[in-house]
């Protein structure tokens, strides 16, 4: 049984400039006090053909994690576009939120990202060399996909992986057969990359609330007792 269950993810400023930071508010429930910190990462996938192009945008550790309903705001910088092939900057990409405990991944949430020109003339006839300052990032927040991995946590219990679709920017426990097209577990990374290959055919069209005590930091942790919680990078 999972000790940490993500209950909702809210995307920050969206649309945004392509070089603006990413912002996600992640709410979760913890069923008991954890012995170790939770690790969270944000990864940007721009190229389906090469995982070498993946960029880890940020990685943080949150803890100590106590029993209850918690949330935090995770800010991450935009990718370094000088490390991305020109042909992969404009169009569709993927951003992943990964949660781990004791170096074991327990959740992965994926969103399509549509990088488009604000100027419709440029969008209809994109230049070979992208004009970064004129590109806008649109996260398709209504169509995320979730993969849960059952791990040992603080015991040796382990179960099957459960994969769900997250409708309307809210995580659910409903099984969805179509989620195979976007699930991003270790066994199915290729399926999301196959969809990324079709990015030129995709268009840009497309809970639970807890404490309001927000602390300003790169990752904002919200709990009844924030004084004992640390955020490390």
Residues 6+ apart with CB under 8 A from 125: none
Identify the pLDDT of residue 75.
97
Burial class (CB in 10 A: 0-12, 13-18, 19+), 121: exposed
* Position 47 pLDDT exceeds 70: yes
Alpha carbon distances (Å) from 189 to 140, 142, 143, 183, 216: 19, 20, 17, 7, 34
Domains along the sequence of the chain with CATH: 4-228 (2.60.40.1490)
Would the pTM of this model clear 0.85, i.e. be above it? no
Task: Tell me the pairing of strands 230-232 and 104-117.
Answer: unpaired
Over range 62-84, report the average pLDDT: 96
Phi/psi for 71 (5° steps) reads -160, 160
| Mean per-residue pLDDT over the chain, rounded | 76
Which pLDDT band holds residue 12 (cuts at 50, 70, 90)? very high
DSSP 81: G
pLDDT of residue 155: 66
pLDDT digits (tens, 9 = 90+) for 123-142: 999 999 999 999 999 999 99
| Residues ≥6 apart with Cβ < 8 Å to 97 | 9, 24, 26, 40, 41, 42, 74, 107, 108, 109, 110
pLDDT of residue 203: 33
CB 57 within 8 A of CB 78: yes
Contacts of 160 (CB under 8 A, 6+ apart): 150
What does the pLDDT read at residue 90?
97
Query: Average of pLDDT values for 12-24?
Result: 97
Does the pLDDT of residue 225 top 80, yes or no?
no
- Comparing 174 with 154, the larger pLDDT belongs to 154
Residue 51: predicted pLDDT: 81
**Statement: residue 77 has pLDDT above 50:** yes
| Side-chain-side CA neighbours of residue 13 (13 Å) | 12
CA–CA distance, 187 with 132 (Å, rounded to integer) = 34
Average pLDDT over residues 34-61: 92
């Amino acid at each position: 049984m999972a000790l940490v269950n993500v209950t909702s993810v809210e995307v920050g400023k969206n649309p945004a400039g392509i070089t603006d930071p990413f912002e996600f508010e992640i709410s979760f429930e913890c069923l008991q006090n954890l012995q170790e910190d939770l690790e969270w990462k944000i990864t940007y996938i721009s190229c389906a053909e090469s995982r070498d192009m993946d960029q880890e945008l940020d990685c943080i550790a949150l803890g100590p994690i106590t029993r209850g309903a918690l949330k935090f705001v995770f800010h991450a910088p935009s990718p370094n576009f000088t490390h991305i092939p020109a042909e992969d900057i404009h169009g569709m990409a993927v951003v992943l939120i990964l949660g781990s405990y004791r170096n074991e991944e327990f959740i992965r949430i994926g969103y399509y990202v549509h990088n488009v020109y604000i100027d419709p003339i440029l969008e209809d006839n994109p230049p070979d060399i992208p004009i970064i300052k004129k590109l806008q990032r649109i996260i398709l927040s209504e169509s995320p996909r979730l993969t849960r991995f059952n791990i040992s946590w603080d015991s040796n219990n382990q179960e099957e992986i459960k994969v769900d679709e997250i409708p309307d920017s809210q995580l659910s426990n409903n099984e969805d057969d179509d989620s195979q097209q976007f699930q991003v577990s270790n066994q199915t990374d290729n399926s999301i990359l196959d969809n990324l290959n079709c990015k030129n055919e995709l268009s840009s069209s497309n809970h639970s609330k807890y404490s309001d005590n927000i602390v300003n930091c790169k990752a904002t942790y919200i709990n009844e007792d924030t004084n004992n919680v640390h955020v490390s990078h």
